[in-house]
Chain A
Amino acid sequence: MLSDRLTKWSGPILIILGALCVAIIAAPDLTSRSTVTQWVFTSALRIERVLPLVALGAAFSMISSRQFLCAGSFFILGIVLGFQIQGWFMSMIVAVSRAPEHTFMTGPISCLATGLLLLLPDRVRPWIAAPAATVTGAMLVIAIKSTDPSWHKATISCVGILAGCWIVAAVSLTAKAFYQKWFPIAGRIFGSWLLAIGCLYGSASFVARPALPPAQPQEEQTPPADFERLFPDFDRPRHEMAPETQPPQSGPHLP
């Protein structure tokens, strides 16, 4: 009885605990935040990072418990794989124009993987769940490593992975506990959004920004009147200066 209740409410409890943690680290003002805290808000909780993880959690809620455990294991495997392949992946994807500016396209790749997972029919979903979870896990790690401001301090990686796992677990457990018949339909609509985001995000990254118009030459500014009055000879050639204001000629001292 207690275990059933605990299973049902574990998702919402995770959401509340996570929200509390976020509120606590958000409490200090911007200047007094640590590098890790700032990174959490500017990178780990960015919408492009959170959306695929939410989608993965939603997809996990639509498969059986056994398949859920299997797909969850593959997500962990993807995280481990991410550490192994990050160098290779970055060197491969760096050839794509402007990829480093967009965390090596990890966002679009995760969106496409999870969007496809949600969009496909229910029969196919369990088969796609494992590879999609692996890809999402690996992309999460690569995104964490490519935005790490601390030159590969372990704290950033731990916090990033913890945040990712928390999002997937909280969403999947909550959605599984309060499952409704219309979830697969909502999932498909959400999946189509992710596919569209992945495609547009990817294409937008390739686009060269339109060149800015050439800067207008600034009009020559006249010095303020006070300045002119105080130092009348400041900007004049030496021969035009009044004799009394001319500085003494400097030269070699004769004996």
Chain B
Amino acid sequence: MRHAQNNLRRMAALAYSLTQAALFVFIPAVAEAHIVMGEASGFASGFKHPLAGPDHFMAMFAVGLWGAQMGGRSIWVLPVIFPLIMVVGGFIGVSGMYLPGIETGIALSIVVLGLSIAFAWKPAEWIPILLIVVFAICHGYAHGKELPRAADPADYAIGFVIATGLIHLCGIGVGLALHKPFAGKLARAIGALIAMGGVYFLVV
């Protein structure tokens, strides 16, 4: 009975993840450039920003998923490092400095993270940290560009950091749930879908 319940829970999580991934990959109407040029306002706007941008959502989700797939300390090290380094990118964006190739960097982050999950890559601890540092600066810069335009920059910052963290947690949860069934092949399949999404952003 308990086994059946566990299976059902795993299947529900899998269905949710696959639906999310499929939506993001196959619905181009949803895809848009990450640096939103509209007027940003307060907490709600900041909270919506990472959730509304599929590129950011996929990257954050992949960070959590990859950490869970690697296991051990990586489960929490990557989601802890990401927001802290994102602040550096945020500072650069807020200060108005220009960083070239941010959009490409964001798309590449999705491809690299997706492929790492798809191939179940478990490198030495410093390699994922280094990758996360580079990617977090790209994502932080995109958010930082938005901050000065926000009606309430403080609330906007709180909103997007919380949303980013929640997406990480979602990724960790799905990663841990899919770790054992089918020897982790489901998580790898999601990784492949994420990488495809990254390629889409890179090309489009």
Do A and B pair up? The answer is: yes
A169-203 CB contact bits vs B (8 Å, 1 = yes)? 00000000000000001001111110111011101
Docked Cα-Cα span, A51 to B162, in Å, equals: 10
B158 touches A51 (CB 8 A): yes
Chain A residues whose C-beta falls within 8 Å of the C-beta of B190 in the assembled complex: none
B76 touches A204 (CB 8 A): no
A199 touches B147 (CB 8 A): no
A251 at interface (Cβ–Cβ under 8 A)? no
Closest Cβ neighbor of B76 among chain A residues = A185
- Find B80's partner among A192, A201, A205 (CB 8 Å cutoff): A192
Of A19-27, A67-75, A206-214, the one contacting chain B is: A206-214
B84 at interface (Cβ–Cβ under 8 A)? yes
B71 at interface (Cβ–Cβ under 8 A)? no
A208 touches B148 (CB 8 A): yes
B147 touches A119 (CB 8 A): no
The SS class assigned to the B binding surface is helix
Chain B residues whose C-beta falls within 8 Å of the C-beta of A193 in the assembled complex: 83, 161-162, 165
A204 touches B94 (CB 8 A): yes
| Residue positions of B touching A, CB distance < 8 A | 43, 75-76, 79-84, 86-87, 90-91, 94, 144, 147-150, 153-158, 161-162, 165, 168-169
| Residue positions of A touching B, CB distance < 8 A | 47-48, 51, 102, 107, 119, 185, 188-193, 195-197, 199-201, 203-205, 207-210
Inter-chain pairs besides A47-B158, A196-B87, A200-B147, 13 sampled, C-beta below 8 Å: A188-B76, A188-B80, A189-B79, A189-B168, A192-B165, A196-B86, A197-B162, A200-B161, A201-B154, A203-B94, A204-B147, A204-B156, A207-B148
- Interchain residue pairs with CB less than 8 A apart (24): A47-B158, A48-B158, A51-B158, A102-B154, A185-B76, A188-B76, A188-B80, A190-B165, A191-B80, A192-B84, A193-B165, A195-B83, A197-B157, A197-B162, A200-B157, A201-B153, A201-B154, A201-B157, A203-B90, A203-B94, A204-B154, A204-B156, A209-B149, A210-B149
